[in-house]
Amino acid sequence: MKKIEITTWVYQYDSVEELPTDEQNLIKVAKEAVNNAYAPYSQFNVGAAVLLDNGEIIAGTNQENAAYPSGLCAERVAVFYANSKYPNSAILKLAVTARTGGEFLEPSVPPCGSCRQVLMETEIRFSHPIKIILAGKKTVRILDNAKSLLPLNFDDKFLDK
């Protein structure tokens, strides 16, 4: 038997003001998007914003459904819309934030497993890492790429025969 260690580095900032202006703006867009979330069942509103290599910013929100599996997370809404509208533009950065009970959460909320897989596929598709920005009420956590969220990911190599 061999034990293998997998390390993920997370950079934590005590304030959004410590970040570069483009990342502050991306968080602002994600926090504004929370207001458009459709979450009548959970009251857990999530906003996401992606920055594309063409300079465009696309926002997304979680969209619930009474049949729970039929809804979508904010991250996937933003990524799928960005890939649909700008199919040749890589996603450089993704900011995510969540609010419940009228308050943004602290600590920040990471993407679910399905969103992690979609982010990995998008990194692979464009051969470019996506910087992950997780914005809480005050603190911000940043990961260098989606691979950091899902180190043992499933990809197209498993589909080769």
89-139 tens-digit pLDDT: 999 999 999 999 999 999 999 999 999 999 999 999 999 999 999 999 999
Asked if residues 14 and 139 have their Cβ atoms less than 8 Å apart, the reply is yes
4-46 tens-digit pLDDT: 999 999 999 999 999 999 999 999 999 999 999 999 999 999 9
Fold of 11-60+72-102+129-150: Cytidine Deaminase; domain 2 (3.40.140)
Selection from 61, 54, 52, 50 nearest residue 27 by Cα: 50
What stretches of the chain adopt beta strand conformation (E)?
11-13, 44-52, 57-61, 91-100, 103-104, 131-135, 140-143
* 75 classed as catalytic: yes
Q: Which of 34-38, 47-51, 153-157 has the lowest mean pLDDT?
A: 153-157
Supply the Cα-derived Rg of the chain in whole angstroms: 16
Q: Of the residues 23, 75, 103, 106, which is catalytic?
A: 75
